[in-house]
Amino acid sequence: MSLVWTLIATFLYVEIAIVLLFVLPIASPSRWQRFFKSRFLEMINRQAQIYFYLLFGVLILFLLEAIREMRKYSQSDPNSEAHPNVGMQHSMRLFRAQRNFYITGFSIFLILVIRRLIMLISTQATLLAQSEASLRQAQSASTAARTLLSQQKDKETEEENSDEKAKTEKLIGDLKNKLKEMGSELDRERKDKAAVISQAEGLTKEFDRVTEEYSKMQRNLTIGDSRKDE
């Protein structure tokens, strides 16, 4: 294997290792995002598109070269039947061409996969950050809503208590007024009763006086009749 194909094979192994790192649950998407946003990768990211297309173009060229060699050595050589060593070399070169084709093809495929995985991990990290922010916002909104509800309930309770207090004070005032009225009526009844009693006593005295006068008159009449009879 020549130095160029050795480098491409090494690049393929590095790609396989990177894909395994991205696929296995080694780090969370947020950690990968912080790693992607590091200073070193930020410096590389400025020219990332140029490096990607340059490397992709080089791999495409080597893939075309491998396809050309495959087509070249796929044709049967007439000298291979007469010279077995020539046939073995022809088959070995065909095998090398096929090996180089697979190495280059998988390298191109994995570089596309790695690029897509980086985009998906970055998107997932962004969505997770947004979801956490939305969750915190929803929690703060829920806390604020509960606070407002509790304040509203306290306010309603205070209003109800004030209404109940006002009703109680009004009821107490009405009862006091009724007690005053009842006291006034009781005083009037007591005065009326005293007046009736005094009138009754006066009538009793007058009745006794009239009865006494009547008795006196009756005694006088009796005495006058007895004198006439004599």
Long-range contacts of 24-31 (CB under 8 A, 24+ apart): 29/121, 29/122, 29/124, 29/125, 29/128, 30/125, 30/128, 30/129
Q: What pLDDT does residue 67 have?
A: 86
Cβ proximity of 107 and 8 under 8 Å: yes
pTM as predicted:
0.54
Q: What pLDDT does residue 219 have?
A: 74
> Mapping DSSP to helix (H, G, I), strand (E, B) and coil, where does residue 85 land?
helix
Q: What pLDDT does residue 26 have?
A: 78
Q: Which of 36-40, 70-74, 88-92 has the lowest mean pLDDT?
A: 36-40
Query: DSSP character for 1?
Result: -
Q: What pLDDT does residue 163 have?
A: 74
For the stretch 17-66, pLDDT in tens is: 988 888 887 777 777 777 767 665 666 666 667 777 888 888 888 888 88
For the stretch 174-195, pLDDT in tens is: 888 888 888 788 778 778 777 7
Average pLDDT over residues 110-138: 84
Has residue 81 got a pLDDT over 60?
A: no
Has residue 205 got a pLDDT over 70?
A: yes
Has residue 154 got a pLDDT over 70?
A: yes
CA distances from 65 to 57, 87, 113, 226 (A): 12, 22, 23, 185
Please give the backbone phi and psi of residue 38, each rounded to the nearest 5 degrees, phi first: -65, 165
Amino acid sitting at position 96: R
Q: What pLDDT does residue 40 have?
A: 56
More confident residue, 64 or 88: 64
